[in-house]
Amino acid sequence: AQTVTQSQPEMSVQEAETVTLSCTYDTSESDYYLFWYKQPPSRQMILVIRQEAYKQQNATENRFSVNFQKAAKSFSLKISDSQLGDAAMYFCAHSQGAQKLVFGQGTRLTINP
Amino acid sequence: GAVVSQHPSRVICKSGTSVKIECRSLDFQATTMFWYRQFPKKSLMLMATSNEGSKATYEQGVEKDKFLINHASLTLSTLTVTSAHPEDSSFYICSARGPPSYGYTFGSGTRLTVV
């Protein structure tokens, strides 16, 4: 069964600093997708970044990048130059093919001005 | 980009009544949609997978007679909470799998309060 684990319920960082959110997952498949979603107070789920398992290169989207370690089944999110607008709940998620998304427990990120 | 519209955003209903929530893909066809439930400060819990033209697949522990799902077209899935009770109060979110470049797109959610 798919499982996704986020071991950090809460994280905080100073504005303009860098923070890394952790995520591990378990799957028996070799082809799958990994995602990081952001949920601000509005509760709208916003895609931050995604990674295809068959790609060795780590995905990057502006200030957001991932460290994908397939053998270790680890998928951490690094946010550089943190901004106040980055404050939100962050969910790591996993899917196999076009199937359902399974979410981790979430990490609440606070940005300190 | 892909957009999913979910309505209503908020609804208050009396115990024993039924409530319908709509999830519509606006600019793409979605053969598969997903319904999630989210408790305060918790993660999204998948309730069911909605497939166009066929019966929904429910996750273990979710009552299919309580949460009726209909996916009658390629752009619309509905979740009906039947005979609602206060414990059904929650935040419900739908998601659609769009074109490959879009991945999964989420609706804005529905806050259901049963009084």
Q: Is B74 helix (H, G, I), strand (E, B) or coil?
A: coil
| Interatomic CA distance for residues B85 and B90, integer angstroms | 11
Q: Is B89 helix (H, G, I), strand (E, B) or coil?
A: coil
**Looking at residue B102, what is its pLDDT?**
63
The set of residues, in sequence order, having a beta carbon less than 8 Å from that of B91 and lying 6+ positions away, is A43, B37, B38, B39, B40, B109, B110, B111, B112
- Residue A101 structure tokens: 């998304």
Q: What pLDDT, in 10s, does the model give residues A87-111?
A: 999 999 999 876 889 999 999 999 9
| Interatomic CA distance for residues B2 and B24, integer angstroms | 11
Question: Which residue in B41, B97, B106 is closest to A45 by CB distance?
Answer: B106
- In the sheet where B19-25 sits, what is the strand order? B4-7, B19-25, B76-81, B67-73
**Looking at residue A35, what is its pLDDT?**
95
- Determine the residue among A45, A92, A105, A107 to mutate to test chain B binding: the one whose Cβ has the most chain B Cβ atoms within 10 Å: A45
Q: What pLDDT, in 10s, does the model give residues B52-75?
A: 888 899 999 999 999 999 988 889
Q: Is B88 helix (H, G, I), strand (E, B) or coil?
A: helix
Question: Which residue in A42, A44, A91 is closest to B43 by CB distance?
Answer: A91
Residues of B with a Cβ under 8 Å from any A Cβ are: 32, 34, 38, 41-44, 46, 49, 91, 93, 95, 97, 103-106, 108-109
Residue A111: beta bridge partners? A13
**Tally of residues, chain B:** 115
Per-residue pLDDT of chain B (115 residues; tens, 9 = 90+): 789 999 999 999 999 999 999 999 998 888 889 999 999 989 999 999 998 888 899 999 999 999 999 988 889 999 999 999 999 999 999 999 876 666 789 999 999 999 9
A 50-89 residues inside an 8 A Cβ radius of B: 50
Q: What pLDDT, in 10s, does the model give residues A18-69?
A: 999 999 999 988 889 999 999 999 999 999 999 999 998 999 999 999 999 9
